[in-house]
Amino acid sequence: MDKHSDQKRAVQYLYPPIDPYDQQILDVGQGHRIYVEQCGNPEGVPVVVLHGGPGGGCSPAMRRYFDPEYYRIILFDQRGCGRSRPHASVTNNTTWHLVEDIELIRNSLDIDAWIVFGGSWGATLALIYAEEHPSSVIQLVLRGVFLMMQSELDWFYGGGAGKFWPEVWERFEGLIPKDERDDLIAAYHRRLFSGDLALETRFARSWSSWENALASIYSTGTGGEPSGEYARAFARLENHYFTNFGFLQFDGQILARTERIKHIPGVIVQGRYDMICPPYSAYALAKAWPAGELKMVRNAGHALSEPGISAELVRSMDRISGKGPV
């Protein structure tokens, strides 16, 4: 018997593929130009999708979590990744630049306020944005919560997750000399920003593969080999943000400022067996933000594409639209 026989493929829960009705490159200043697209109903309820990473970029599949007759769906590639330019650049690329980019997009599209939908780093950015601009947010829909705390970085890059995946962890840390393994983020940083393209790409693939391998609950320890171009942007941006602790003022800042979003309703969709962003962060957020309803998904990990995660996200968006059960 198929051990996953109770799981439908994630795509079965999604809306059909849809093409954008608008695509543009927006000059946000400081030398950056970002890709922005819109699809769905131009007169619908606006929802902006914040992708993960940092550096992950958006994909066509992300359009499919929303009823296109009800929602005006806005996707964009954050600075330095996807179709935004310059590619893999960390210059003038911080959390606060991204927060202001989101506001610039909202204003340029003449939107008063919108639903903010984000997963992993996208959930981090959504929370920070909402805490900075609460009047711009109608509702938050979050997945695989990451609160940009030192304890979360220690878990994933300090050996915690590696205790569950020792063979994958050995590959990840094995590229680094033993005398540098006390701080793998710093060790990888030196190589990702070495100025040697071949060396940067080699270590970018290793950095990206470590994360990809742990994304799904059904992982066998391999996440596929990412292209060099994608991996370099993903790894450099992610490492840059983590080296700088997300450019936050203090550890635990997001939780400490949830008072600013106490009036904003939301949904937190969390995989019970998420190896990248363990459920503790989602649970802590739900306790600090009572307006956020925690939906713990059994038999699910971190990936947006997991069937249980996809089903709950679509269900949540349908419920907001009035289409699904309350």
Residue 87 lies in a domain: yes
Answer whether residue 2 is part of any domain.
no
> Taking a C-beta distance cutoff of 8 angstroms, is the pair 30, 92 a contact?
yes
| Residue 217 and residue 290 in one domain | no
- Is 201 strand, coil or helix? helix
Return the active site residues. Answer: 120, 274, 302
User: 48: helix, coil or strand?
Assistant: strand
Structural domain includes residue 4? no
The residue type found at 210 is W
Q: Is residue 52 part of a domain?
A: yes
How far is residue 165's CA from residue 202's CA, in Å, rounded to a whole number? 21
Which domain range does residue 193 map to? 150-246
* Residue 220 resides in a domain: yes
Contact between 55 and 81 under an 8 Å Cβ cutoff? The reply is yes
Q: Are 46 and 115 in contact (CB under 8 A)?
A: yes
Which 8-state DSSP code applies to residue 165? S
Length of the chain measured in residues:
326
Q: What is the pLDDT of residue 3?
A: 33
Q: Which residue stretches of the chain have pLDDT < 50?
A: 1-7
Per-residue pLDDT at 110: 98
Residues 285-326: pLDDT tens digits? 999 999 999 999 999 999 999 999 999 999 999 999 988 665
Query: Which of residues 206, 222, 246 is at a domain's end?
Result: 246
The answer to whether residues 91 and 230 belong to one domain is: no
pLDDT for 72: 98
Domain count within the chain: 2
> Which DSSP category does 17 fall into?
P
Within a domain: residue 5?
no
* Residue 184 domain flag: yes
Domain finish residue from 246, 261, 290: 246
> Do 124 and 21 have their domain in common?
yes
Q: Which two tokens stand for residue 75?
A: 């996707």
Token pair, residue 267, equals 């949904």
Verify that 78 and 159 share a domain, yes or no: no
Residues 135 and 220 in one domain: no
How far CA 23 is from CA of 39, 100, 111, 323, in Å, comes to 9, 20, 16, 28
234-247 pLDDT per residue, tens? 999 999 999 999 99
Give the domain-ending residue among 205, 229, 246: 246
Q: Do 138 and 259 belong to one domain?
A: yes
Query: CA–CA separation, 274 vs 107, rounded Å?
Result: 35
240 located within any domain: yes
Residues near 253 by beta carbon (within 8 Å), at least 6 away in sequence = 148
Q: Are 274 and 147 in contact (CB under 8 A)?
A: no
State whether residue 299 is helix, strand or coil: coil
Are 190 and 173 members of one domain? yes
C-alpha–C-alpha distance, residues 156 and 70, integer Å? 38
Residue for token pair 């956020």: 292
The DSSP annotation for 117-144 comes to EEETHHHHHHHHHHHH-GGGEEEEEEES
Per-residue pLDDT at 65: 98
Statement to judge: residues 195 and 264 lie in one domain: no
> Which pTM was predicted?
0.95
CA gap 188, 201 in Å, rounded = 11
Q: What is the distance between the alpha carbons of residues 179 and 187, in angstroms, rounded to a whole number?
A: 10
**Smallest Cα–Cα separation from 203: which of 189, 183, 213, 217?**
189
Could you give the maximum distance between any two Cα atoms of the chain, in Å? 58
Amino acid at 142: L
Task: Identify the pLDDT of residue 226.
Answer: 82
Cβ distance 242 to 153 under 8 Å? yes
β-strand pairing of 45-50 with 71-76: parallel
pLDDT of residue 119: 97
Q: Are residues 155 and 143 in the same domain?
A: no
Q: Kindly provide the b/e burial profile for residues 64-74, where b requires at least 16 CB atoms within 10 angstroms of the residue's own CB.
A: bbbbbebbbbb
Q: Retrieve residue 16's tokens.
A: 């059909």
- 80 with 226, same domain: the answer is no
Q: What is the pLDDT of residue 221?
A: 86
Indicate if 143 and 161 belong to the same structural domain. Answer: no
Same domain, 107 and 156: no
Q: Where residue 18 sits, what CATH number does that domain have? A: 3.40.50.1820
